[in-house]
């Protein structure tokens, strides 16, 4: 019926599309009828996943797309989009949209000036549903869908539903997809997302912060773009103004992503944002907030002496150690160990703080004894213990912005007698071979260099075991 032509087609199509939208709720009676094959799939409602699969299996998705491509009237279009919205709630249907040509048609509708705001809103919702399947994220970009979504966001009222739906879709598109992150920036998507942070609608602000977190993650260019748009300041303002828990959690998550850039780290400190971030470590905020706060603490401290000193000065180290001994989740522990390792390497006074916190010191020593240099917490424990157990030698990590990226010779002046932390071989190389890699913040197993601001390094003992002990000798390009 959906494929008919002529004047009757529109009226009949609207009726059938409304049926797809409204009839079935997947209740027992309708399920029995469906199993018996007594109702055409085009007459089943799409809210139950079983019915979605039945409709898709009988060609209902193809017919709906043919109807939309034919340019029906407003009523039939709205009904068909409503049915499609329900259908795409099913992962099975989301996997089959390529064959039906669904995404290019939706992009055309979103980009069509004559389409009403209500139609574009439904299309954006459908795209968000389709992004349950990660493969569809690339298809939407290739079909040109990012620019219309950014335009829909920019043209919407800041607190309106359309802006929120567009922010949700952009967040999903950016998640784990470097090409999409850059495409959103190039389409001008960052300024309207920053603007949405000021929305009185908490959900809209939350999704804007979430989208910025995704876009900025692992991208120095995008971190800079968010800073230039005033995003770092806006996120701190959200925290200072007492944002609700879910909004604050996403704001701190965004700050963690943005802290890849040294300039952003410094803005957070200068604006008094570090105590606001660390406040979310308190148990009352919940597990999700604690995870992102611990992550943000580690990222803000990474390679930044002034931030490490600010964390210690504001009581942040005591707070981190307190959470560590409370036995939080493994994820929180990992972030805290990284943060503490950063702090203790930059701040000599942090050593006494750890030694005076017996439970925290014991926990760190346990990680060092039970783990290894290849285990995340064991590796961080080695870094911490190498500082607090050898206070007579300066093992603070040195930052060197003059060294070129690539392999280096590290002259062994000032190296410890036993260069292999946790190794009893007592061998030491005259020249310790080191390597630098471009930052991969998600891979904590690698020693990395972040931009040109800080260095992490690994050298090898004569016994060929890697040591993660900080090294303060001189550097010379090979």
Cβ pair 391, 347 in contact under 8 A:
no
Cβ pair 179, 138 in contact under 8 A:
yes
Q: How is residue 422 written in tokens? A: 């946790």
pTM of this prediction? 0.75
3-state secondary structure of 200: coil
Query: Exposed/middle/buried for 157, CB within 10 Å: 0-12, 13-18, 19+?
Result: exposed
CATH of span 1-144: 1.25.10.10
Place of tokens 């965004």: 254
Please spell the DSSP secondary structure of 365-429, one letter per residue. Answer: HHHHHHS-TTSHHHHHHHHHHHHHT-TTS--PPPP-SSSPSS-EEEE-TT--SS-STT-------
Query: What Å distances lie between residue 363 and 67, 255, 337, 373, CA to CA?
Result: 64, 28, 10, 17
pLDDT at 54: 66
Question: Residue 19: how many CB atoms within 10 A of its CB?
Answer: 20
Place of tokens 């919940």: 286
Please spell the DSSP secondary structure of 221-266, one letter per residue. Answer: HHHHHHHHTTHHHHHHHHHHTT--HHHHHHHHHHHHHHTTSHHHHH
pLDDT at 94: 75
Please spell the DSSP secondary structure of 273-324, one letter per residue. Answer: HHHHHHGGGSGGG-HHHHHHHHHHHHHHHTT-HHHHHHHHHTTHHHHHHHHH
339 closest CA partner among 291, 373, 372: 291
Domains of the chain by residue range: 1-144, 399-478
Place of tokens 């007579």: 392
pLDDT at 143: 94
Q: How big is the chain by its Cα radius of gyration, in Å?
A: 28
Residues of the chain with pLDDT below 70 are: 1-59, 98-100, 371-374, 390-478
Query: What average pLDDT is seen over the chain?
Result: 76
Query: What Å distances lie between residue 429 and 158, 418, 461, CA to CA?
Result: 61, 10, 6
Question: Residue 319: how many CB atoms within 10 A of its CB?
Answer: 19
Q: How is residue 202 written in tokens? A: 């908490």
- ∠ CA 357-360-366 to the nearest 5 degrees? 135
Helix (H) or strand (E) holding 477: strand 475-477
Cα–Cα distance measured from residue 303 to residue 150, given in angstroms and rounded to the nearest whole number: 35
Helix (H) or strand (E) holding 194: helix 190-196
pLDDT at 416: 38
Please spell the DSSP secondary structure of 123-167, one letter per residue. Answer: HHHHHHHHTTSTHHHHHHHHTT-HHHHHHHHHHS-TTSHHHHHHH
């Amino acid at each position: 019926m959906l494929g008919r032509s002529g004047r009757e087609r529109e009226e009949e199509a609207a009726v059938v599309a409304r049926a797809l939208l409204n009839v079935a709720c997947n209740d027992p009676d309708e399920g029995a009828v469906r199993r018996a094959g007594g109702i055409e799939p085009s007459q089943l409602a799409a809210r139950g996943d079983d019915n979605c699969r039945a409709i898709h299996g009988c060609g209902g998705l193809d017919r709906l797309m043919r109807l939309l491509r034919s340019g029906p009237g407003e009523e039939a279009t709205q009904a068909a989009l409503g049915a499609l919205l329900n259908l795409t709630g099913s992962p099975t249907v989301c996997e089959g949209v390529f064959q039906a040509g669904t995404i290019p048609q939706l992009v055309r509708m979103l980009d069509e000036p004559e389409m009403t705001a209500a139609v574009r809103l439904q299309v954006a919702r459908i795209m968000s549903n389709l992004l349950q399947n990660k493969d569809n994220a690339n298809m939407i970009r290739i079909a040109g869908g990012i620019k219309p979504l950014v335009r829909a966001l920019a043209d919407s009222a800041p607190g309106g539903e359309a802006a929120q739906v567009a922010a949700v879709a952009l967040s999903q598109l950016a998640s784990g997809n470097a090409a999409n992150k850059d495409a959103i920036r190039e389409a001008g998507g960052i300024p309207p997302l920053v603007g949405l942070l000021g929305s009185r609608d908490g959900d809209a602000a939350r999704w804007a912060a979430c989208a910025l977190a995704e876009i900025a993650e692992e991208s120095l260019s995008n971190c800079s773009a968010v800073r230039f748009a005033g995003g770092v300041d806006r996120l701190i303002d959200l925290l200072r103004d007492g944002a609700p828990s879910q909004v604050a959690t996403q704001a701190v998550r965004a700050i963690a992503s943005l802290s890849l850039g040294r300039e952003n780290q410094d803005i957070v400190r200068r604006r008094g944002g570090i105590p606001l971030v660390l406040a979310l470590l308190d148990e009352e905020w919940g597990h999700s907030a604690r995870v992102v706060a611990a992550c943000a603490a580690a990222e803000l401290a990474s390679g930044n002496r002034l931030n490490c000193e600010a964390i210690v000065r504001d009581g942040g180290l005591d707070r981190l150690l307190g959470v560590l001994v409370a036995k939080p989740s493994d994820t929180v522990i990992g972030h805290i160990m990284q943060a503490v390792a950063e702090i203790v390497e930059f701040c000599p006074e942090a050593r006494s703080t750890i030694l005076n916190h017996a439970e925290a010191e014991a926990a760190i020593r346990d990680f060092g004894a039970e783990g290894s240099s290849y285990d995340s917490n064991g590796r961080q424990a080695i870094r911490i213990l190498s500082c607090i157990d050898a206070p007579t030698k300066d093992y603070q990590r040195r930052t060197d912005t003059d060294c070129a990226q690539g392999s280096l010779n590290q002259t062994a002046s000032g190296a410890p007698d036993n260069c292999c932390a946790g190794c009893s071989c007592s061998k030491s190389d005259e020249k310790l071979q080191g390597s630098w890699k471009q930052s991969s913040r998600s891979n904590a197993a690698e020693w990395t260099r972040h931009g040109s601001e800080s260095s992490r390094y690994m050298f090898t003992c004569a016994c060929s075991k890697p040591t993660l002990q900080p090294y303060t000798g001189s550097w010379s390009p090979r």
